[in-house]
Amino acid sequence: MFDFDISQALRLLAIAFVPALLGIILHEVAHGWVAERCGDPTARLMGRLTLNPLPHIDPMGLAVFGLTSLSGAFVFGWAKPVPVDPRQFRKPARDMMLVALAGPLTNFLLAVLFGLGLLAAVSFLPFAQWRGNTAYIFALSSLQAGVVINFGLGWLNLLPIPPLDGSKILAYFLPGQWAWRYMSLGRYGFVILLVLLATGLLGKLLGPLVSGSSLGLLGLLGF
C-alpha cells in the first residue's frame, strides 16, 4: 500500500524552496552576467539579469522541482535558459565555455555560503539552547538543504549531456566538427535526463558527488 505523508512532503518542499529558487535563479543570472562581460548584452536587454523570479520561471522546471521535492528523492529543477548570442562574443568558443562554467561555479559558491550561514547560525544561536524552537530548526534545515541542493545543481549541470553546461565546457576542447556533432545531440538531452531520473540512475550517478561534496564542506566547517 502506498504510504504518503502529505505534511512531511510539504515540509520538505518548504525547506527546499528558498535555497533551490536562489540556486536556480542565480545560476541563470551568472550565465547572463558573464556573457555581458564577454561582449553579449542580450540577457540584460531582455531583463534577465534580475533576482525577480518571474522572468526566470519555466513551468515544467518548476513542476519537476515540486515533484522531486515532495518525493524526498534527488531534488532538481530548472529555469528558462538565459538568452545568449555567441556572435557578439569577442572569442566565441572560449567565451561560450566561460558562460557555461559560470552557472555551476555559482551553485558551488552558494553551497559554501549556505554552509557558512549554517556555521554562523549555530555559533551565535547554540543548538543546545535553541533546539526546541521550531523556526530555528526550520532555518537550520533550510541552510543545510542549501548546501546539498546547490551542490546537486552544480554537479547536475556539469554532466556532459547536451545542452547542459558540462557539454558546452567539453565542446570547447573538441575539434570543431566533433563539437558540432556532439552539441547536435541536445535535442535528446531532456529525454535522456528524464529517463535517468525515472530509472533512478541520475541519483546513483550524482549521489556520491553531492553527498561527498556536502559532507566534505560540512566536515571542514566542523559539523
Walking along the chain (223 residues) 10 residues at a time, the average pLDDT comes out as 65 87 94 97 94 86 71 68 93 96 98 98 92 93 95 95 95 92 91 87 91 96 92
Query: Residue 76: what pLDDT?
Result: 66
36 is catalytic: no
String of DSSP letters for the chain: -----HHHHHHHHHHHHHHHHHHHHHHHHHHHHHHHHTT--HHHHTT-SSS-SGGGB-HHHHHHHHHHHHHTSS----BPPPP--GGG-SSHHHHHHHHHHHHHHHHHHHHHHHHHHHHHHHHHS-HHHHTT-HHHHHHHHHHHHHHHHHHHHHHHHTSS-TTSHHHHHHHHTS-HHHHHHHHGGGGGHHHHHHHHHHHTHHHHHHHHHHHHHHHHHHHHTT-
Q: Give me the catalytic one of 13, 28, 30, 77.
A: 28
Predicted structure pTM score: 0.91
